[in-house]
A and B are shown apart, each in its own frame.
Chain A
Amino acid sequence: GQNIDQPTEMTATEGAIVQINCTYQTSGFNGLFWYQQHAGEAPTFLSYNVLDGLEEKGRFSSFLSRSKGYSYLLLKELQMKDSASYLCAALDSNYQLIWGAGTKLIIKP
């Protein structure tokens, strides 16, 4: 079957760094997405990785290892506004997104 695993909740301190991990098992693979979702709002696109390696975009970076079925989202210099849920989603061979349950990130001052 198809499955995405990510931690349910994480807590970090303002100004620190946090890494949110995601492992996936899909029928075929066409890339890995990360979305941010604030409470009561729609998900917003953060990153898309299809090749192995690290993609950096400002304070946020995303890493992919296709051989390990593993990705992580790295958030640096955490700000209170980064408190949100972070959704990992893998694109399968039919180009359908398989969604994780999301990781709720709590930032403390």
Chain B
Amino acid sequence: SAVISQKPSRDICQRGTSLTIQCQVDSQVTMMFWYRQQPGQSLTLIATANQGSEATYESGFVIDKFPISRPNLTFSTLTVSNMSPEDSSIYLCSVVLGEVEQFFGPGTRLTVL
């Protein structure tokens, strides 16, 4: 397994502002993903963070709202832009280790007022 960390662990933000979430892995990984999990619900994939190229977004998620950076094989950021209360959620990064197994960071709990 790998050690995956996220910053911040939680934040409370005002409507209309932006928050950047960092994900750091202690080993190089090819595939890294960003998920959202709203209270009491399962995981929703936002995008695949590709190293050296633009992220691949899932239906319903756009780059202007959720810009992603992946400057190297151990780090990625997700920005939640122009936030509204509907963006209140837990944001999780995950990486693929081994052949297909995904492992998750501890998550960032975001509350938008």
Contact = CB atoms under 8 A, between A and B. Distances in A.
A44 B101 CA distance: 11
B104 interface: yes
Contacts of B3: none
Interface stretch (A56-64, A65-73, A93-101): A93-101
Q: For A42, A45, A48, A91, which residue has the most chain B Cβ atoms within 10 angstroms? A: A42
- Chain B: interface secondary structure? strand
A102 B109 CA distance: 19
B103 A45 contact: yes
Nearest to A48: B101
Contacts, number: 37
A101 B42 contact: yes
- Chain A: interface secondary structure? loop
B92 interface: yes
B106 interface: yes
Contacts of A102: 42
